[in-house]
Amino acid sequence: MQLTGNWLLVQRLVTTTLYKLLRLIFIAVQRIYWQLNGTAQKLREARLPYNYHRSAQVLDVILCHKFCILQTITADNFLCTHNRFENPQYIIDNDNITLLTITERDAVFCEAKEKGRPLVNIYTRLWKGQNTQSNIVSV
């Protein structure tokens, strides 16, 4: 049975609330884990200009949620786990990557496995002042 009208809105509010709570818990645990395994330190180092060659962070997206299909996609719409660091040139060299959105902090790119296929990867590029360092987020 497909929901309509107010029930559809209630369903979306409930699922969005549950997602936000899950994301809050997930991010808190992830930050602790990244501090313990050294990923947090590597992220800080990757933002330095002389580490450009390994400044793109590849993340595996385990969950994606948006309240409305018209809503702009941001990095907050994804729950991600760290995979590896990559050279930002990967974004330029790959034909299946396109710019999705830009925020004050990052530019978000998306990747499909093949041209014309559904979204597979998201890439974010961090901005810090005049310097541009990159982070890659993979779905």
138 lies in some domain: no
62 lies in some domain: yes
Which pLDDT tens digits describe the chain residue by residue (139 residues)? 676 778 888 888 999 999 999 999 999 999 999 999 998 998 888 878 888 788 777 777 788 888 877 777 777 888 888 888 888 888 888 877 777 777 776 667 777 665 555 454 555 544 443 333 334 444 3
pLDDT for the residue numbered 89: 85
39 lies in some domain: yes
CA atoms within 13 A on the CB side of 64: 17
Domain span holding position 83: 5-132
pLDDT for the residue numbered 128: 42
137 lies in some domain: no
CB 119 within 8 A of CB 139: yes
What's the total number of domains in the chain? 1
pLDDT for the residue numbered 102: 77
CB 123 within 8 A of CB 111: yes
> The whole model's pTM is what?
0.71
pLDDT for the residue numbered 14: 93
pLDDT for the residue numbered 139: 34
pLDDT for the residue numbered 132: 34
